[in-house]
Amino acid sequence: MQKLRVRYAKRGRARFTSHRDFGRAFERALRRAGVPMAYSSGFSPHPRISYANASPTVAASEAEYLELGLSQECDPAKVREALDAALPPGLDVLEVVVAPTGALADLLTGSLWRITVVGVGRDVVDRAVASFMSRESVEVQRLTKNGIRSFDARQAVVLLASSDAGLDLVTRHQEPLVRPDDVLAGLAVVEAGFTPIEVPVLTRISQGRLDASTASIADPFRC
Amino acid sequence: MTIPSSTPAQPDAPPTLFERLEPLLAKVSKPIQYVGGELNSVSKEWSDVDVRWCLMYPDAYEVGLPNQGVAILYEILNERDWILAERTYAVWADMEALMREHQVPQFTLDSHRPVRAFDVFGLSFATELGYTNMLNALDLADIPVHARDRREDDPIVLAGGHAAFNPEPIADFIDAAVLGDGEEITLKISEVIREWKVEGRPGGRDALLMRLAAGGNVYVPKFYDVDYLADGRIQRVAPNRSGVPFRIAKHTLMDLDAWPYPKKPLVPLAETVHERYSVEIFRGCTRGCRFCQAGMITRPVRERSIDTIGAMVQGGIEATGLEEVGLLSLSSADHSEIADVTKQLADRYEGTNVSLSLPSTRVDAFNIDLANELSRNGRRSGLTFAPEGGSDRMRKVINKMVDEDDLIRTVAAAYSNGWRQVKLYFMCGLPTETDEDVLAIADLARRVIATGRQASGKRDIRCTVSIGGFIPKPHTPFQWAAQLDHETTDVRLAKLRDAIRSDRQYGKAIGFRYHDGKPGVVEGLLSRGDRRVGKIIEAVWRDGGRFDGWSEHFSYERWMRCSEEALAGTGVDVSWYTTREREYSEVLPWDHLDSGLDRDWLWEDWQDALDEVEVEDCRWTPCFDCGVCPQLDTSIQIGPTGRSLLPIAAVTQGVTVS
């Protein structure tokens, strides 16, 4: 059985796709592309696909990853092309490589996010960032299936910097996973004036092995 | 068709609403349902076409997207280079609130254009419970809800679908309605609109409606007046101007092989109620079940040939990537070549992940053979049959010709072939029904389990009984019948439930599903309502009523309160519309709309029902003069063709390393 790793993007309108929706669309695309999938055994066999760290619905991404189990050996370049053609616009397959040994998840320990904030002055953003980074912990809340849950959004943040383009954020993947919207909630906690007039647009720029000392992310297909 | 020598001056393309919509999407649940861009969706340049349709299925995206009718029209219209068609669906309350707050009008999904900018706003009503959603969409689109208030540049609001066979309750809100198959008539309407636009829109909106009405297949309610008798019944419905027909005829598509749609249905990113590619293997049904509006209004039977079905399945799977294929019709096992169709398709797709289903409803041992054929790889979970009536007597009344022993034999065959669960559908509240008829369902279910245990040699088999309330529908022999009041319906169902639950030997093996009778009252009111019912629909919508087909959003209390207010002074009330039996001489609100069925034949069939006399199927016995073929100049189109499907090459796997 061949294993392929796939990097794909969620762009434009497609950022509103939920992870479940993506999963169904991707399975259909595999069939349309004629990718010879390996199936799980059992009463209702599923194609062997493992997803890693899906970004939240509404977030755009340039760096989503998954791994496929195939029943026949395939040319990764052809698979990329065929899958990309079979997916709707905005769900773009960027790279396909043959999986080396080792778990994909071990290579995905951090993410770089870009956040576009509308309706908050640069000075307020800077103050919020400085205040957030100066703290040991910032307690935020998130509504989950099991009700409202409180957790620390600060500890997972390796880097948070503002520019005219918005905010750059590097997070460490840990349990519970701190998402960029949790960090935004944290900024509102430390700075009352941090009230964007629109829901900020989140984009995952890259994902890979995190070097905390330099806040850099190593490409999981090239390390 | 005449091709105009010059195209009319094009209005500027309306700006896309997406930028204004995008910030709202992050705040609503399941935003994907509002963004469009589905696989196989079409987005055309506004100025490249002459006629523009906005199609709506007036329910949530997850229900509306898989709708076969809209899918067909979307493709047929967009295949013409001079027409564009986009889609819109009912938005949920969270989105509605944001749209109203930020003044974002009702938009299409394909290019996010405002609905008001289109020439035609066409709505497909599979059920009357979408009426409040239509009013909400009109209002959100900034189109006046009353047809009489519409401006020259508002779209023509056009209703179609099965509910349009009695559009009187929405007569104040629509500009026009079409009856029957939409494939050809939508193109014809498009041509009329194009001509009128090319000529510079002479006479304005009313003149366009007049051109459409004069053709005889488009009903324009405002060209007809309804007079009432002092007791509230209708005295007459008649044209209020010359040049429009007294009766408007339904449209019938002949030769379904020439119209193999949908070829490339949209494949959504969002989850929807059906995730399968469906092929309509024939249209129409002449079994003659007296409760069944679909069977009555879609006559005659027109089959697709085995080759067309095979080609559609193959093309549809390729175009969509779906793995489930449904072979649809009103009674699928009645296709003249169904055994060949199922066997040959099963052969073709053996060893692949493609699964075929045949939503068959008739209780017939032959169906078990077909079901076995379609489940070769061993997935035999459940089979569904619809005897509809609990007793032999009841089934004679409704003309569902199957006797109890047949049913038991069929079920025994199912269990002995490895099927573990049988679902049985019934109706409650049928004409002449008594408690005994409904309690007979319990006896039947017991016999099913007893027989099943014997046939399979196992104890762990199940039978689920599902019951719906009967609602008399226009253009059926039961259009004159009294609907059973919801109190009696609920009492009968409670007795049945107790009878099943108290059975120690079999009770635990029988599942029981039913809904309370109240929503059926509202559906009954809307099904057989007249123009006075429009006021109720409007009041319910203004009071916040939306998504009436969803039990969590439906409010019986609101409908009754609004009915009382809206009908004050008319001398009629909800029970007058629902639980009252009509007489032969009464003018029914839809009598001027011609489904092809002879009114006297319907009446005789109603009398036969009361006498428990059955009527045969005209595909196998001589014509019994329902009137459709001569009235509409149509005929039955059935096989067998005797042709076979060739095996197809395995899916080309161009991605593998050879």
Cβ <8 Å between B655 and A35: yes
Q: What is the CATH number of the domain that holds A196?
A: 3.30.70
pLDDT tens string B168-189: 999 999 999 999 999 999 999 9
A40 contact B CB<8A = no
pLDDT of residue B4: 45
pLDDT of residue A94: 98
Nearest CA in chain A to B650: A34
Q: Most distant CA pair in chain B: distance in Å?
A: 83
Q: Give the closest-approach CA distance of B200 to chain A in angstroms.
A: 38
Same domain as A128, residue A72: no
Strands B120-124 and A49-52: unpaired
Q: Give the closest-approach CA distance of A57 to chain B in angstroms.
A: 9
Cβ <8 Å between A34 and B653: yes
pLDDT tens string B454-476: 998 988 899 999 999 999 999 99
Task: Indicate the average pLDDT of chain B.
Answer: 93
In a domain, A203, yes or no: yes
Same domain as A98, residue A21: yes
In a domain, A223, yes or no: no
Of A2, A13, A19, A72, which to mutate for an interface test with B (greatest number of B Cβ within 10 Å)? Answer: A13
DSSP letters spanning B156-210? EEEEESGGGGS-GGGTTT-SEEE-B-HHHHHHHHHHHHHHHHHTT-TTHHHHHHH
A145 contact B CB<8A = no
In a domain, A173, yes or no: yes
pLDDT of residue B198: 97
DSSP lists the bridge partners of residue B52 as: B84
pLDDT tens string B191-240: 999 999 999 999 999 999 999 999 989 999 999 999 999 999 999 999 99
A19 contact B CB<8A = no
- Chain A positions in Cβ-Cβ contact with residue B62 (cut-off 8 Å): none
Strands B277-280 and B83-90: unpaired
Cβ <8 Å between B18 and A198: no
Domain closes at, from A70, A105, A140: A105
CA atoms within 13 A on the CB side of B74: 30
Q: Give the pLDDT mean for B119-142.
A: 98
Same domain as A7, residue A91: yes
Instruction: Indicate the burial class of B294 (C-beta count within 10 angstroms; 0-12, 13-18, 19 or more).
Output: middle
Cβ <8 Å between B269 and A21: yes
Per-residue pLDDT band for B257 (boundaries 50, 70, 90) equals: very high
- Chain B positions in Cβ-Cβ contact with residue A86 (cut-off 8 Å): 321
Of B271, B323, B381, B655, which to mutate for an interface test with A (greatest number of A Cβ within 10 Å)? Answer: B655
Distance (Å, whole) CA B447 – CA B2: 65
Of B25, B270, B654, the CB nearest to A78: B654
- Chain A positions in Cβ-Cβ contact with residue B32 (cut-off 8 Å): 16-18, 21, 57
Q: Give the closest-approach CA distance of A142 to chain B in angstroms.
A: 15
Quick check: A82 pLDDT over 70?
yes
Where do the H-state alpha helices sit in chain A?
A: 19-32, 76-86, 122-134, 180-190
Quick check: B247 pLDDT over 50?
yes
A137 contact B CB<8A = no
Per-residue pLDDT band for B651 (boundaries 50, 70, 90) equals: low
Quick check: B3 pLDDT over 60?
no
pLDDT of residue B364: 74
Tokens 């006297």, located at residue: B600
Of B23, B37, B653, the CB nearest to A36: B653
- Chain A positions in Cβ-Cβ contact with residue B38 (cut-off 8 Å): 88
In chain B the domains, ranked by start, together with CATH numbers, are 18-249 (3.40.50.280), 276-527+596-632 (3.80.30.20)
B381 contact A CB<8A = no
DSSP state of B39: B
Quick check: B256 pLDDT over 60?
yes
Region of B388 please: left (phi>0), alpha (psi -120 to 50) or beta.
left
Based on the structure, what is the number of domains in chain A?
Answer: 2
Q: Give the closest-approach CA distance of A211 to chain B in angstroms.
A: 32
pLDDT of residue B645: 86
Nearest CA in chain B to A26: B269
Instruction: Count other C-beta atoms under 10 Å from residue B296's C-beta.
Output: 29
Same domain as A180, residue A98: no
In a domain, A212, yes or no: yes
Cβ <8 Å between A58 and B31: yes
Quick check: B9 pLDDT over 50?
no
- Chain B positions in Cβ-Cβ contact with residue A28 (cut-off 8 Å): 39, 267, 320-322
pLDDT tens string B24-33: 999 999 999 9
Quick check: B533 pLDDT over 70?
yes
Cβ <8 Å between B654 and A88: no
Cα–Cα separations (whole angstroms), residue B96 to A163, B106, B161, B166? 35, 9, 25, 29
Cβ <8 Å between B267 and A28: yes
In this structure, of A136-150, B164-178, B600-614, the range with the lowest mean pLDDT score is: A136-150
B98 contact A CB<8A = no
Q: Give the pLDDT mean for B616-641.
A: 91
Of B32, B36, B322, the CB nearest to A28: B322
Nearest CA in chain B to A78: B655
- Chain B positions in Cβ-Cβ contact with residue A45 (cut-off 8 Å): 353
pLDDT of residue B379: 66
A26 contact B CB<8A = no
Same domain as A118, residue A17: no
> Number of Cβ pairs closer than 8 Å across A and B?
90
Same domain as A94, residue A119: no
Same domain as A117, residue A94: no
Of A10, A31, A84, which to mutate for an interface test with B (greatest number of B Cβ within 10 Å)? Answer: A31
pLDDT tens string B361-409: 677 767 778 888 888 766 677 788 899 999 999 999 999 988 899 889 8
Residues 17-46, chain B: which have Cβ within 8 Å of A? 18, 23, 25-27, 30-32, 34-39
Quick check: B84 pLDDT over 60?
yes
Contacts of residue A157, Cβ cutoff 8 Å, sequence gap at least 6: A132, A133, A169, A170, A171, A172, A178, A183
Domain closes at, from A72, A105, A138: A105
Q: Tokens for A62, please give them.
A: 């340039």
Q: Give the pLDDT mean for A87-94.
A: 94
Domain enclosing residue A143, as ranges:
108-218
Of A29, A43, A199, the CB nearest to B23: A199
B658 contact A CB<8A = no
- Chain B positions in Cβ-Cβ contact with residue A58 (cut-off 8 Å): 25-26, 31
Q: Tokens for B193, please give them.
A: 């609109």
Q: Give the closest-approach CA distance of A1 to chain B in angstroms.
A: 13
In a domain, A91, yes or no: yes
Whether residue B150 contacts residue B144, with contact meaning beta carbons closer than 8 Å, is answered with yes
Q: Give the pLDDT mean for B349-366.
A: 79
Distance (Å, whole) CA B564 – CA B556: 12
Cis peptide upstream of residue A176 (ω within 30 degrees of 0) = yes
Same domain as A93, residue A10: yes
Backbone phi, psi, residue B562, to 5°? -70, -35
A198 contact B CB<8A = yes
In this structure, of A134-143, B89-98, B367-376, the range with the lowest mean pLDDT score is: B367-376
Same domain as A118, residue A89: no
Q: Give the pLDDT mean for A107-124.
A: 94
Residues 53-112, chain A: which have Cβ within 8 Å of B? 57-58, 72-75, 78-79, 82, 86-91
Per-residue pLDDT band for B2 (boundaries 50, 70, 90) equals: very low
pLDDT of residue A50: 94
- Chain B positions in Cβ-Cβ contact with residue A17 (cut-off 8 Å): 32, 269
- Chain B positions in Cβ-Cβ contact with residue A21 (cut-off 8 Å): 32, 269-271
Q: What is the CATH number of the domain that holds A37?
A: 3.30.70.580
- Chain B positions in Cβ-Cβ contact with residue A14 (cut-off 8 Å): 35, 37, 269
Distance (Å, whole) CA A27 – CA A32: 9
Same domain as A127, residue A86: no
- Chain B positions in Cβ-Cβ contact with residue A72 (cut-off 8 Å): 653, 656-657
Domain closes at, from A54, A82, A105: A105
Distance (Å, whole) CA B165 – CA B474: 7
pLDDT of residue B237: 97
Nearest CA in chain A to B657: A74
Quick check: B479 pLDDT over 80?
yes
Of A72, A88, A198, the CB nearest to B39: A88
Whether residue B427 contacts residue B417, with contact meaning beta carbons closer than 8 Å, is answered with no
Cβ <8 Å between A13 and B655: no
Same domain as A212, residue A117: yes
Whether residue B133 contacts residue B59, with contact meaning beta carbons closer than 8 Å, is answered with yes
In a domain, A38, yes or no: yes
Nearest CA in chain B to A117: B23
In this structure, of A158-162, A202-206, B623-627, the range with the lowest mean pLDDT score is: B623-627
In a domain, A112, yes or no: yes
Quick one: what percent of chain B has pLDDT higher than 90?
Answer: 81
Distance (Å, whole) CA A35 – CA B472: 51
Whether residue A17 contacts residue A57, with contact meaning beta carbons closer than 8 Å, is answered with yes
Cβ <8 Å between B38 and A88: yes
Same domain as A208, residue A176: yes
Quick check: A165 pLDDT over 90?
no
Distance (Å, whole) CA B251 – CA A77: 51
Task: Indicate the average pLDDT of chain A.
Answer: 93
Distance (Å, whole) CA B541 – CA B559: 10
Per-residue pLDDT band for B7 (boundaries 50, 70, 90) equals: very low
Spell out a b/e string for B54-73, using b for 16 or more CB atoms within 10 Å of the CB, else e. bbbbbbbbbbbbbbbbbbbb
